Each structure stands twice: as structure tokens, then as C-alpha cells.
Structure 1
Amino acid sequence: MSASAVPARLTDGPRLWADLMTMAGIGALPAGGCCRLSLTDEDRQARDLFAGWCREAGCTVRVDAFGNMFATRPGRAAGAGHVLVGSHLDTQPHGGRFDGVLGVLAGLETVRALNAAGIETERPVTVVNWTNEEGVRFQPGLTGSAGFVGALTAGDEAAITAADGARFFEDLHRTGYAGSAALQIPVAGYYELHIEQGPVLEQAGIAVGVVEGVQGVRWLAVTLTGEDRHAGTTPAGERRDAFMAAARLALDMRTAAALLSPDLRITFGRVTVEPNSTNTVPGRATLAIDLRHSQTALLDRMEGEIRAAVAGLAGSEGVGGTVARLMDVAPVHFDARMQAIIASAAERLGIRTLRLPSGAMHDASNLATVAPAAMIFVPSRGGISHNESEWTEPQHVTEGCEVLAQAVLHHALQPAGPW
């Protein structure tokens, strides 16, 4: 079928919804969510189901050394770069039915739709399930996509840790998903459909988000050192209370972040005090700080504010302090041409869009470092995710998948060669 004969609508929304609900039965939880931690038996069952569906759709299924699954529908041009589309099947311990899995199964629905319409593409279309995106059992998260782009080395167990003592590459073998290190797939572009996991689209009444990029993430560890003293005998003016210093720091930095940018997000996700005794003035406090913004310059400025504030606590609270940077992930900007393809597809379908950043990291973050990449968001009810009550309306699932399929088709019809 020629491009001019492509149907106005390609995908089957009810079929995709049925697939999502069937997949949700694997690792199902009492309140409607799912638990499929990476490389557990539940994850293996999900992988097996996905592989079977892909083979039924005429795809060749291959697995690389990180357990990433690639289901390929061939194109006319031999050796052409693949149009990749996918996400992940693993979940949080109390995860929902849409996070990650929507992107994988929407990719499969795209292939089924192309088959049903009899459309032959120039480039291969490959649906991907990336291993251990969530990073629950194994750290770092985004493991499979990091391995694919060369940020991790296959077989290096020391680079991947596990809270439960498991070994990543051993579990790949145990589940039957230890693939070939020789598998190489040239990428013409990568598309990922995902639930927003935030409230912006729902509040705006918009069904589809065109994601401009992924915010940079910076983690800082702050250690404040005062002096352990008796709670009943130490006057207020003689205390060097590390916790009170931590509280002042948190409140002051919340204000500083708001002044720098309303989009700058600061989270004090973990605070500990020592000696952790009810009747002892804390002599030590440690804080883990998560900073996020789409501009590196603003992350730098906020880190500078924190370092200056910590130094100033010596005078205001009588405590010493240190700041260490634990992680620094640069902001990712998605391919402008692919964003335009997505927006144009939505416009042809009469679907309103909104451009927005992603506050969470995704596998597309890694792919964008080596190839053109783009993401599509659909609304999350109440902005809730990583929760059993996570929900996206069937209509939004259908619309997001159709925009995805049209964008992937447009890309896959392009002549082979550099993008």
C-alpha cells in the first residue's frame, strides 16, 4: 500500500486496551496494580507473553546481552536504520497498569496496524522492551537502555548492584533472557509513548503531550555536624543542633528555588539525625537532595545557593557542613524534527497537543545520547503514578497510540539514509 492510501486511522484502541488488561494480570495486586520487578518470574511471564504476541504479528524477536527484547517488522531497504518504538514491562513494587507497558504494547499495536493495512515501510520497525527501567531490584535504573548505548559493559556484575543480593547477568540466564552480545541494531530514530506521571495534561484538558526533553537530575549529600548535648540541661543559646540547622536549610532552599525558577524542583528525600535519641540534641544530620530542571545553568546556580547556605550555617547555627555531589545527569533535548512529526500527526487527527518537559527519566533519555529520539505523553489521572491507583482513560490510550503509530509510519516510510 502506498503512503497516499494509508487509512485515516490505523490502530485498534479496544485491542490495545485488552492487551494492557491482559498484561496487568501478570503480577496483579489486590488494589488493581501490578508488581513485576525486573528479572523475577513475573517479569519472565510478561516477557514470554510479549514475545508470543510479537511472533504472532510476524516479527522476528531477538535479545541482546542486557536482556533487551527487539521485535522487528522488516522494511524494504536492506541495512536501513530501524525505527525503534518501545518502553519497559517491569514495574514498581506497588506499580500501576500503564507505566512503561503502554509504550511497549502501543509499539506492538503499531505493528499490527501496519500489517492490517498492508503497509510496507522502507525502514524496519522494531518494538523494544528495555530491561530494568525502574531500578527497583537492580541499580542503576534504565539498565537495559544504558547497556544498549554503551554506558554499561555486558557481563560486568560489579557495575550493577541489587538490594536483594541477586546478580543481574545470572538472573538473565535464569529467566532465559540472556541474549547475544553481538546483536547490533542501527537506529534511525526512537519513539516512546508514556503516561505523563504528572498533572499538567489533565489540568490543561489536553490528550497528547509532545515532550521537548527530560529534566536534568542532580543529587547532593549534605552533612551537618554540631554537638551531641543533653536535651534537658543544655540552654538554647549554647546548642549546636544539627537538625535545626537542617530544618533551616530546607526551608531557606525551598524559598531560593522558587525565586530562581518556578520550574526548579528541589526535594529533601532523606534526612537522618544522630544519635537519634529522644533526649539528646542531635550532633549530626545528613540530607539527600534531589534537584531537577531542564537547564544546567539553573542547576548550577541552585547548587551554589545550597553550598553557600551550608557554609553560612556555621555562623547562624554553630554547625559545620559539607556538600558532595552524588549524581549529575545532564538535561536531554529531544529531536526537533521528530517532535514536529508527532505534532503534525496529532494535528491531522484533530488532537490538541501541549509541549512540555519530562520530570522523570526514561529510556528515551539514554537513546537520545546516540540517536534521534522523541516522546509522547498521555494524561495520568490526578498526576498519580508508581501507585496502584495509576490510571489513564481508554480514550487517551487510543489517541496516544494513534499519534504514535502515525509518527512511526511517517518516519519508517522515509528513504534509507542519514536522518
Structure 2
Amino acid sequence: MRALRPLNPAMAETFLPPVMEARRWLEGVTFTPERPLINVSQAAPVDSPPLPLREAIADAALNDPQAHLYGPVLGMGELRAELAAQWSTAYGGEISGDQVAITQGCNQAFCAALSSLAGAGDEVILPSPWYFNHKMWLDMAGAKTVPLKCGEGMIPDPQAAAALITPKTRAIVLVSPNNPCGAEYPPEIMRAFLELARAHGIALIVDETYRDFDSRSGAPHDLFADPDWADTLIHLYSFSKAYRLTGHRVGAIVAGRERLMQVEKFLDTVAICPNQLGQIAALWGLRNLGDWVAGERAEILRRRAAMIRGVEGLEGWKLLGCGAYFAYLQHPSALASNAFARSLVRDAGVLLLPGTMFTPAGDADGARQVRVAFANVDTDGIGALMGRLSQIQR
């Protein structure tokens, strides 16, 4: 078979999608009714949206001709205005509809924002462990990822970040509640990062995909209360987790108007416009599902508590972070985490992701860590997971 040519070197050097790689570990392994697979590898709802939301989507599909046509590149005006109004209230700031863009999921929001900021040879600071798709996009774009190792509680240190900034730095990226660590960043840390980024004339990207499942009450930070937030802050959000709309691909960017003019170039080239039915669903959800989302949050917090209790009873394991959909653990095996995670499929019927998928190559900490995405496992399932992990031979 002839080699594939030509191939973009940056694409060739980008690692394969981790979740897809982990799924391949299931090939050839048999799971029985007595010991079914416990899949805690991916952080995505598996249940359908609530029935009223599905009915709203169906009604639009049947009766709204505009739902099947191209729409504005930056998204539906009504949805942009509604998100701006709700975020202004939630964060105690001033956000207008023309400071919001709707995207095909939050991953696209990240790619669009970064495309407006950094190109080949530029640098972007990512706290490590990082969300692997963020690293993948930077690799494909030819930008350099600068790791910022997290400290106690898996919280990044603004002073440590300051030491990493160079003339090539274009942005610092934060994810809170964090994927993969579950950590909820304190508001004073968020503020310190905003001030650091502003002082150096770079962007602060804050991905709040999991904001609806934060264990704290009230606004998680005061960044939008800053009257000049738009000169530095770029905020990302996903409707997928809140309303179970993963298949509809709806996300958002909140940023300055000038930034969104550049983002529009990317979005027009890649997708022309966001999914119309997904946007209709997101708007309906914002206007009607506040109480339902509160119930979803309460259930996730129950599962979080079950994870914390369960890990406390596991000999040799250490809980490094837990929140939103994730628990991040230090494992007791002598194997590196990539080999250990593969062995768990065969030996315990458990599919989770190794820390090596979230850290730089050769990182010693990543070799000792694993991520558990527990959002799709109820409290009984978490108990079963702990039972299987407790039986693993080190």
C-alpha cells in the first residue's frame, strides 16, 4: 500500500482522538450480563432531551420553514439576545446580543476563538492536565502549547503562568468546572488570570461548558462585572450538557464585537451557520427549562458526593479533583496509566481514560492519573464501579 501524500505535517503529528482510541480497547473483550461494561470514558449525556423540548424541536421541524434554511453566520438574533440577557443577570455584568456568537458546539467555539488569536509559531498557555481537544486544535494549527502544571486541588497558579508568558504568547485558556479534573476555580484565581492577561495584552479564554453543574451557588466569578471585560475575556459555553443537545451541536462565544468580526470569518468558512433546529432548541431551553436544569444539577451533585465517598474507601487511590462530570484520580498500580486503563477493560470491565491523554508526553504525573466521567453512572453504578476498582490487583 502506497503512503498517503501529501499530508499536512501538523495534522500528522496530532494525536488520534482519545475517546475513539479508548473505544478500540473494547474490541475482542466479552462482557456478560453479570458483569456488564461500566463506561466512564466520555462526558456526554446519553439520555434524550426532556419531552417538551423534543416537542418544540419537532414543531419547528414541521412548521417553521426557516428552520431548514441558512441563517445568520453568528447565529439567531433571538438566541444571542437571550443568552446575553441571562448571562448579564447571572454574572452581574453588561453583555449585549452583538457580543454573542452561536457555534456548532463548544469545540467549534474554541477553534474559532483560537483561529482569531494564534497561528503557526504562536504560543498558548494551557493548564495541565488539559482538555485534549484543546491541545489537538493547537497542534493542528501549528501553535505551541505551553503547559502550566496545576497545583494543589488541581488549580492553576497565576504567578506560575506569568513566568511562562513570552512575546509569542497569545492567550491563556481556563476550563472551570474543569475537564478533566473537575476542579472549580475560585473567583479570586479567575480575577488574577484576567488581570495577568490584560497586563500582557493577551486573551483570557474561559471555557464554562459545565457551568450549570457548578456546586457553588451564585456567580462563579466576577469577570463580566468588569466594565472592560471585552478587551481581554473570551467566554465559551455549551448547550449540549445543560439540555442534552449533544447531537444538535450548539455552543456559544461571548467576546468583544471586534473579536466576533474575526470569528465570523472562521464560522462562515467552516459551517456557514449553526444548526437551526439546535438553536431553536437552545432558545426554548433557556426560556423554559431553568427548573429542569436545576434538577439535573442536583442529580450530578449527588453523584459527585457518591464519587467522593467511594474513593475515600479505595485503598491506595487518591482523589485529586471532583466536580461537574469528572473525578480525577491517582491510581495505585505499578503500571503507567495508559497500560493500567487498558488492563481495567479486561480485568474489571471498566472503561476510563488515562492521565497520559491529558498531559504532555512523558509527564510523570499523567502516568499516575486517570479520569472518571461519572455523569452517566447513577449512585448505584458508582457503587458498582468502586467495588470493581477495589478488587484490582496492584
TM beyond 0.5 = no
> Counting strand residues as a fraction of each chain, which structure ranks higher?
1
Larger Rg: 1
After TM superposition, the score normalised by the length of structure 1 is 0.27
